[in-house]
Structure 1
Amino acid sequence: MSEHTAQLSSRGGRWIQYVVLMGVPVPQWPEHHFGTGVTPTPAERSRALTDLGFVFTDGAEWAWEEYSEGPDDDSSPVRLLAFVQVCSRDGGLS
C-alpha cells in the first residue's frame, strides 16, 4: 500500500487540499477546492479526501507548519500548511 502526503494550504483566502503523488506532474495531483472563508474542519477535510479516493493511514493526524512567503524576509506574510499521511482507498495510486 503506497502512502502519500495530503496537504491543505491557503492563498488569497482560498483553501485547497491536494494529495502529493511523487513522479506525477503537479497539475495531475488530486485536489479539492474549499473556497474562501474559515479553515475547513477536520471532518470537511476527511470527506474531501474520501471524495478524492484516499483515507488516512493508521494513526495519522493532521499537523500544521508555518512558513514565510519570503524565506529570507521575516516581515513577509506567514503561510500555514497542514499535512497528513494518506493511502488510496483501493490500495492503488488513485
Structure 2
Amino acid sequence: MGTLTAQMSNTGQAWRLYVVLYGETAWPTFQWDRTGPVPTGAERRRALAALGYEVAPGAVWSWTEDSRDPDDDSTEVLLIAAVTVRGQDGGAA
C-alpha cells in the first residue's frame, strides 16, 4: 500500500491541487477558478476523489510559506498545503 503527496497552491489567479508523481511529466491536477476563499476540506476531498485519490488514514493538511523570490522578503507570500494521499482502492494510483 503506497502513499503519495498531494499539494495545493494558489498562483494568484486560482487554487490548484495536484498529486506529485515523481518521474512523471504530467501530474493529476484539479483547479478551482478563484483566488479566495481557500477550498474547504470537503472541496479538497471531492477534488482528490475526482482524481482517484483520498487522504491517507491519519494524515492532516499542513501549510508552509514560500515566495516568488526567496532572497527578497518583500515579495508576495505563497501558501502551499500538503497532505499524504493514497489511491481510492487503498494504494497509490
Quote how far apart the aligned CAs of 1:82 are. 0.4
State the identity %. 48
Q: Structure 1: where are the runs of 5+ without partners? A: none
Partner of 1:16: 16
- Offset from partner CA, 1:5-41 (integer Å, 9 cap, x none): 000100123100000011111xx21010111131100
Quote how far apart the aligned CAs of 1:91 are. 4.5
Partner of 1:52: 51
Quote how far apart the aligned CAs of 1:49 are. 0.3
Partner of 2:69: 70
Q: Structure 2: where are the runs of 5+ without partners? A: none
Quote how far apart the aligned CAs of 1:68 are. 1.7
Quote how far apart the aligned CAs of 1:76 are. 0.8
The count of residues paired between Structure 1 and Structure 2 equals 92
Aligned-partner residue type, residue 58 of structure 1: P
The RMSD of aligned alpha carbons is: 1.2
Of the three residues 22, 32, 35, the one matched with 2:33 is 35
Aligned-partner residue type, residue 64 of structure 2: E
